[in-house]
Chain A
Amino acid sequence: ETGVTQTPRHLVMGMTNKKSLKCEQHLGHNAMYWYKQSAKKPLELMFVYNFKEQTENNSVPSRFSPECPNSSHLFLHLHTLQPEDSALYLCASSQDELVDSGANVLTFGAGSRLTVL
């Protein structure tokens, strides 16, 4: 739809499971992002990759581990999560995070709805 595809769309996991969220974009963008969206809270930026290099880790717990093998793919590896980690995880991409013009427009995927039991 938007050019950013997230899988799976829904995931239910126990606290001891290990799972991964996948994000793929075919827009030729060089920056990719993970956001967490919880009810009644603003979007929380988790990680940013620009040209495959991590440029932001917003004090995210180590039970979330990102991986960016190339500019088109982004993963979020999950292990020993807590129930409070249940949320909608949104992946986004943009042309380049460090644009001089300051016009960093994001294209979002549809999100992965995560439920931790």
Chain B
Amino acid sequence: SQQGEEDPQALSIQEGENATMNCSYKTSINNLQWYRQNSGRGLVHLILIRSNEREKHSGRLRVTLDTSKKSSSLLITASRAADTASYFCATDGETSGSRLTFGEGTQLTVNP
């Protein structure tokens, strides 16, 4: 079964609005990461949150982790057109060691 699953699959917002993307996973994890991918490019690491952390910030990014619900959310505040990309969560499970399992991603479109 797939580990990380993001929702929504696609999100379209106006510049300046906040964007929230969610990730659910099935098995226990050591940490959860969020990556971003611009069209036709590689993935870029954004932020990592460990299983004993509940919230983490990096610039306009805010990540939360709820291990009891096996879910995480990525909030991008004051979005910009340049934030348009696909966003993926990745988990390394207690059974898979440090191997990362990626979800299908959320396609975010920020309209100017």
Q: Name A residues whose Cβ lies closer than 8 Å to a Cβ of B.
A: 2, 4, 6, 40-43, 45, 48, 56, 88, 90, 92, 97-99, 102-111, 113
- Give the residue of B4, B41, B50, B101 whose beta carbon is less than 8 angstroms from that of A103: B50
A106 contacts across to B, CB distance below 8 A: 35, 43, 45, 90, 100
- Give the residue of A45, A97, A98, A109 whose beta carbon is less than 8 angstroms from that of B42: A109
Q: Is the CB of A103 within 8 A of B42?
A: no
Which residues between 53 and 112 of chain B lie within 8 Å of chain A, taking CB atoms? 88, 90, 92, 97-105
Q: Is the CB of B102 within 8 A of A42?
A: yes
Tell me the count of chain B residues lying within 8 A, CB to CB, of chain A: 26
Confirm or deny: B30 has a beta carbon within 8 angstroms of a beta carbon on chain A: yes
Q: Is the CB of B104 within 8 A of A41?
A: yes
Q: Is the CB of B31 within 8 A of A102?
A: yes
B24 vs chain A, min Cβ distance (A) = 13
Interface of A (DSSP majority class): loop
Q: Is the CB of B98 within 8 A of A110?
A: no
Q: Give 22 CB contacts A-B under 8 Å.
A: A2-B42, A4-B42, A42-B4, A42-B101, A43-B43, A43-B88, A45-B100, A90-B42, A92-B43, A98-B98, A99-B98, A102-B30, A102-B31, A102-B50, A103-B31, A104-B92, A104-B99, A104-B100, A106-B35, A111-B40, A111-B41, A111-B42
